[in-house]
Amino acid sequence: MIAPSDLAHCRDVIRTGSLSFHAASKLLPASVRDPALALYAFCRLADDEVDEGDNKARAVLDLRDRLDLAYAGTPRNAPEDRAFAAIIAEFNMPRALPEALLEGLAWDAVERRYATLSEVRDYSARVASAVGAMMCVLMRARDPDALARACDLGVAMQLTNIARDVGEDARAGRIYLPTDWLDEAGISVDDFFANPAATPEIRRMVRRLLAEAQRLYIRSEAGIRKLPMPARTGIFAARYIYAGIAASVRRNAHDTVTVRARTTKAAKVGLIGKAAVRSAGTVILPQSPVLFARPLDEVAFLVDAAAVGASTQNAGAGAALAAVMSTLQA
């Protein structure tokens, strides 16, 4: 499906650029691991193009063109593009899923801010849950309940990332904390950018984000038993490794302005062991009713797009992306 040289390139990209996913991916069966590495390499390329480029708007528009070419079966002559086009063809990847990711990157390009926790979940759905839904497609797990719980996991991971990076983002002129939380605390965004500090108020906001992430990590576990058995340990590992970052934040008294939370290699090994035990338990434990919880409102469009029998197109998602692209082009 994917040319060996393209796959080797994607593997190198993930090895150097996403240590947590690289560690978890080793536990996936080859039938899922190889396309997952290619998927993450394309997503990583997209994220880096927007984050590191001098012209973020131009980078997003260029990514839209690359997506068009990949879906037309004529990808740009680059390993990530060729590998992603192969995934589209093999797995019938709904276009609404990478389009949602691209919309989230467009929001980054226009430096969008989020007034409420729901709006932060909207953003997280696009930049993280869309990837979780694509992972389900690669596992050929397109049951709506499994997809909803995978999207829970994606939002939880992104909230963890946001909580960990509050100081780093502020120093770069970015804010992902709900701005109404800052308003309630009497903190001006501009003042916070000028002098990022781990005040008691900011620490409480970090704690609130992690509490929401923890709720969603717990909800997500019910869906893992709907995945192919060989893939469950890898997904549990991803869940525990990211939750380990949250635990590190808590040990630092929720200061993510002056301290960056990290997990050690030894800690990752322990969490992988825990994942293996939990995966084995999914065979004998009864099914949790949490599996059937309604999807978050913010991720429902992803579940609808990826579910069995869904069209590979999603007019609503496409229209939303087109609207953001028009803003970038203006």
- Asked whether 93 and 305 are in contact (CB, 8 A), the reply is no
Spatial CB neighbours of 85, under 8 Å, sequence gap ≥ 6: 69, 70, 71, 73, 74, 75
Separation CA 152–CA 146 (nearest Å) = 10
Task: Output the DSSP codes for 248-290.
Answer: HHHHTTT--SS------HHHHHHHHHHHHHHHHHTTTSPPPGG
Instruction: List average pLDDT for each run of 10 residues in the chain, which is 330 residues long.
Output: 91 78 78 91 87 83 94 96 96 96 94 97 98 95 96 98 97 97 97 97 98 97 92 91 94 97 88 90 81 96 86 54 62
- Asked whether 302 and 129 are in contact (CB, 8 A), the reply is yes
Q: What is the number of alpha carbons within 13 Å of residue 304 lying toward its C-beta?
A: 13
pLDDT tens profile 110-161: 999 999 999 999 999 999 999 999 999 999 999 999 999 999 999 999 999 9
Q: Which of 240, 180, 236, 173 is nearest to 213 (CA)?
A: 240
All structural domains of the chain? 4-329 (1.10.600.10)
pTM above 0.85, yes or no: yes
Which amino acid, one-letter code, is at 86?
A
Task: Output the DSSP codes for 166-234.
Answer: HHHHHHTT---S-HHHHHHHT--HHHHHHS----HHHHHHHHHHHHHHHHHHHHHHHHHTTS-HHHHHH
